[in-house]
Amino acid sequence: MRTFSLVTALVIGFGCSANAGERPASELLAACDQAAANPFDKTRPDGVPGVSTEKIVPENAINACELAAKAAPNDARIAMQLGRAYEAAKNFDRARIHYFEAYQNGSAQAAANLALLYLSGRGGLPKNEVEAVRLSKVAAGQGNAQGQNGLGYLFQEGRGGLPKDDVEAARLFKLSADQGYPPAQNNLGRFYQAGRGGLPKDDREALRFYRLAADQGNAVGQVNLGFFYQEGRARLSRDEREAVRLYKLSADQGNALGQANLGFAYLRGLGGLPKDEREAARLYKLAADQGNAAAQVALARLSGSQSAPSPQTEQRTTADGTTGGHEVRVKMVSNGGVFRVPVLINNALTLNFFVDSGASDVSIPADVFLTLMRTGTVKESDFIGTKKYLLADGSTVSSRTFILRSLKVGDRTVTDVRASITKVNGPLLLGQSFLNNFKSWSQDNVKRELVLQ
């Protein structure tokens, strides 16, 4: 009898311990909120500040939010946060599954996150700009800051079936920036810097928004703010040390422009840094691997043991890939009803080019190239390799590529432009390797002018 009582007591005792060890659902949800709440999700609980994506600790967040999701399987916020945890771990497939679950349960933040996956074609989704627009509208319509900024970008670029509309883009960027969303603050700063979207051209207002974005750790805002310090824009005193500090903050987050600008600073010994070509080359390589054209050119020059740094890098492009500047209108010349633009090549030879946004690089026919070689305008050291090009008929060709030291259109000069050699008597094409150096370009068919900004 005593034995029975002892066994019964042990069973009851262990049962009580097990019940005491279970965490209540509210505690599990709170742990997920602390680990992965989005700072701009309007459904997060009061008192929860949220965590920026780069500060999420993936393993901890996944564990916390998996437990929370089991405790509250229909909670849209928890499903969205579990998706964020997986996205922080670079597991985009699992992120997409949980974002979709959250979206179906009404999460505006999940709709904004899904829009980005559709835009980039990640998480097992096909690239689908129309779906990205639809989801961004859903999120923006519910006042979600990320959705507003994303939809503003799509209007700015005219993607997903939307018309290019800078005014609507500026309106959406402002709605998002007013909520403190750093990418929107940076985008609004760009629009004030350029005077786009019906906004006045105002460097001081641009500076204010760049600073707001940079102070929250936005890598692109840090680059733009650094550029303002380096150039002494918006009545700032020139401060290379502060510029370098900001470039380093950006570069440490993996931002290509931050890496390229910091590389230039090491190359020239700016802001108290020692002159260090090896460190400059390392940073240029990081940026070049992400597709930064200025870094690719600078790296090619350093690899070729040429002492002169890339002039393109000297101009320290801002985060939208431009060096700033005013609008330029260049009269085009007509030949048989077809318009071309005069271009001065390497300060030596002026030729008329077709403007072709479908061409990835500037194209130079072989006969013209030979003339440039004979006159010493182009040298063997300017060659950088070969590249395959997709032609309009769907076929591909391999062409040697080289660097044009300068192309001047009107009063605007672009340096270190990648070009390819095409067949004899082919057309001279002013492609994206030139056009991408400008914030925008267009053709005024009434005035017969090329407009560059």
**Options 1.10.540.10, 1.25.40.10, 3.40.50.10800, 1.10.1040.10; which CATH number does 25-178 get?**
1.25.40.10
Structure token pair of residue 321: 């890939």
Q: Which residue has the higher pLDDT, 190 or 3?
A: 190
pLDDT at 313: 23
Is residue 307 very low, low, confident or very high in pLDDT (cuts 50, 70, 90)?
A: very low
Q: Which residue has the tokens 């290019």?
A: 164
In the chain, residues under CATH classification 2.40.70.10 are: 328-452
Q: Give 100's Cβ-side CA count (13 Å radius).
A: 11
Structure token pair of residue 157: 């670029």
- Yes or no: domain 217-314 corresponds to CATH 3.30.450.40: no
Nearest to 285 by CA among 305, 256, 314: 256
Contacts of 43 (CB under 8 A, 6+ apart): 76, 77, 107, 109
DSSP 181: -
Could you read off the pLDDT of 249-294 as tens digits, one per residue? 999 999 999 999 999 999 999 999 999 999 999 999 998 888 776 7
From 100-104, 114-118, 230-234, 242-246, the region with the lowest mean pLDDT: 230-234
> What is the secondary structure of 92-105 as a DSSP string?
HHHHHHHHHHHHHT
Angle among Cα 54, 56, 59 to the nearest 5 degrees reads 130
From 55-64, 181-190, 343-352, the region with the lowest mean pLDDT: 343-352
Contacts of 268 (CB under 8 A, 6+ apart): 275, 309
DSSP 440: -
Distance CA 299, CA 266 (A): 13
pLDDT at 308: 29
pTM of the model: 0.66
Nearest to 349 by CA among 403, 400, 416, 407: 407
Distance CA 434, CA 138 (A): 37
pLDDT at 122: 92
In the chain, residues under CATH classification 1.25.40.10 are: 25-178, 217-314
Mean pLDDT (whole number) for 339-346: 87
Could you read off the pLDDT of 46-61 as tens digits, one per residue? 999 999 998 999 999 9
Is residue 348 very low, low, confident or very high in pLDDT (cuts 50, 70, 90)?
A: confident
Nearest to 155 by CA among 182, 191, 205, 179: 191
Q: Which residue has the higher pLDDT, 349 or 428?
A: 428
* CATH class for the region spanning 328-452: mainly beta
Cβ-based neighbour number of residue 105 at 10 Å: 16
Residue type, 417: V
